[in-house]
């Protein structure tokens, strides 16, 4: 909190921290309710802003990268999308250390028709899905291995950031959509959808282009967190690898 908001006082920071744990509690109870959620129920409390950006991207026929972060109820964002539009999302996930928990969480996630793809060995799957014009989802706010990433500004700090989506998109001209949910005070959700434009980057997946595009992704993520900081998962070790 102090790294990202050095101008804020301690009370403000602790209020955000408290909000983070409240958000986690809400997410847990909503996740447990997934087996009972039907399309008509979801439509009563979840709405999508600028959905046409995704439908337009799919019309291009080059696949879509659906990028987000651990913001608000990120699990519900993916679940509601699949239920509402009856479209499968292919979601790249990290496995939980507890195998039983991992199995149960993925079981709940896939009740809407989505498919979980664990990070290890997922690259070939991603290319196959893109060629089939499907949607592949990445959460971009976790610490990345410095050996397989680029350093990019996030809250003014150079942090190791996953570069895979930028590299693949630049090679295949894949459409990139950034989406995240916002929980309102009445516990309704608005899922905001934005397109990340990069057609000005010529020459394919050069180191410079990958760095620029990854930076644009981080900027979208940072902006969404600043909007409602208490709805982001601050307990992640996002600043584990920093370049000074």
For residue 10, the model assigns a pLDDT of 96
pTM for this entry: 0.93
Average pLDDT over residues 179-197: 96
The answer to whether residue 94 scores a pLDDT higher than 90 is: no
pLDDT band at 121 (very low <50, low <70, confident <90, very high): low
pLDDT band at 123 (very low <50, low <70, confident <90, very high): confident
CB-based contacts of 154, cutoff 8 Å, min separation 6: 161, 218, 221, 222, 238
CB-based contacts of 220, cutoff 8 Å, min separation 6: 67, 178, 194, 196
Average pLDDT over residues 207-217: 97
CA angle 200, 206, 207 (to 5 degrees): 110
Kindly list the structural domains of the chain, giving each domain's residue range(s) and its CATH number in brackets, ordered by start: 10-243 (3.40.1130)
Report whether 177 contacts 50 (CB < 8 A).
no
Closest CA relative to residue 169, chosen from 219, 208, 210: 210
Average pLDDT over residues 17-36: 96
Q: What is the pLDDT of residues 59-80, one digit of tens each?
A: 999 999 999 999 999 999 999 9
CA angle 154, 156, 157 (to 5 degrees): 70
For residue 137, the model assigns a pLDDT of 96
What are the tokens at 20? 């983070």
Share the mean pLDDT of the chain.
94
For residue 122, the model assigns a pLDDT of 64
The answer to whether residue 119 scores a pLDDT higher than 90 is: no
Give the integer Cα–Cα distance in Å for 179 and 185: 20
What are the tokens at 161? 């950031």
């Amino acid at each position: 909190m102090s790294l990202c908001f050095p101008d804020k006082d301690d009370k403000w920071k602790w209020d955000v921290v408290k909000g983070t744990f409240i958000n986690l509690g809400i997410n847990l109870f909503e996740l447990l309710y997934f087996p009972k959620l039907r399309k008509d129920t979801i439509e009563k409390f979840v709405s999508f802003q600028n959905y046409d950006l995704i439908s337009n991207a799919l019309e291009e026929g080059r696949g879509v990268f659906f990028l987000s972060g651990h913001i608000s109820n990120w699990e519900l964002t993916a679940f509601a999308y699949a239920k509402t539009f009856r479209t499968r999302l292919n979601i790249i996930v990290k496995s939980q250390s507890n195998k039983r928990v991992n199995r149960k969480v993925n079981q709940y996630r896939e009740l809407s028709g989505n498919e979980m793809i664990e990070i290890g060995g997922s690259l070939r799957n991603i290319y196959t899905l893109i060629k089939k014009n499907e949607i592949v989802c990445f959460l971009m706010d976790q610490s990345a291995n410095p050996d397989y990433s680029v350093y990019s500004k996030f809250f003014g700090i150079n942090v190791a950031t996953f570069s895979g989506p930028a590299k693949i998109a630049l090679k295949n001209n894949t459409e990139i959509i950034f989406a995240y949910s916002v929980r309102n005070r009445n516990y309704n959700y608005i899922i905001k959808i934005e397109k990340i434009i990069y057609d000005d980057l010529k020459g394919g997946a050069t180191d410079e282009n990958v760095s620029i595009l990854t930076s644009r992704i981080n900027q979208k993520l940072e902006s969404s967190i600043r909007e409602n900081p208490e709805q982001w998962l601050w307990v992640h070790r996002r600043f584990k690898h920093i370049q000074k």
